[in-house]
Amino acid sequence: MNSEVRGSIERVWHVEATYAPDGAEARMPFRAEHIARLQRLKAEGTVIEAGAFTDVSSTVMIIRALTEDEVWALARDDVYLRNGIWVEIRVRPFGRVRDQADD
């Protein structure tokens, strides 16, 4: 891979969180806090993208962090995980194609 291509890929983290079977209803008391935190993390550039599947089976986030440990710390601090709304988290390194404006 030449350096031009390498520079076009940013290593970020793909996070998938599985909701509890009653997650769609159970999340409601915590939703405003959860969304506000995601909006803040997006504004800071830590969260690149986030959203749930429309069947509320799981959510996907693309996270900018230096280490996997940082990603796990962000997940553990989320109100959904702390309150059993998310029951499983998977974290994987992800190669994000950078926008030309990112260069």
- Taking the model in full, what pTM does it have? 0.86
SS (HEC) of the chain: CCHHHHCCEEEEEEEEEEECCCHHHHCHHHHHHHHHHHHHHHHHCCEEEEEECCCCCEEEEEECCCCHHHHHHHHHCCHHHHCCCEEEEEEEEEEEECCHHHC
In tens, the pLDDT along 50-86 reads: 999 999 999 999 999 999 999 999 999 999 999 999 9
Give the percent of the chain with pLDDT over 90.
87
CATH T-level topology, domain 3-95:
Alpha-Beta Plaits (3.30.70)
